Structure 1
């Protein structure tokens, strides 16, 4: 039988990063917080001032 292994071990494969990793990034969280505050202000404006 032919020897197919090489002298080196294969390089470790990097795990794919999913949605939770993307959501944990500070710039994205700041952006989502600003959008959330704007939506909250618009909803409060509609409820109490119109």
Structure 2
């Protein structure tokens, strides 16, 4: 039984660690999307000023 319990604990730890990675990458992706939107707006404003 101990072997099964040890394996189970390792799997739970793996899941927990990767769940945290998913949250981090999700936040990073959202931040990148916000930066992209801001840069697009800035470039559109620059194009309007040039006209």
Give the TM-score, by structure 1 length. 0.49
**Higher relative contact order, chain-length normalized (CA < 8 Å, sep 6+):** 1
Is the helix fraction higher in 1 or 2? 2
Give the TM-score, by structure 2 length. 0.48
Between structure 1 and structure 2, the one with the greater Rg is 1
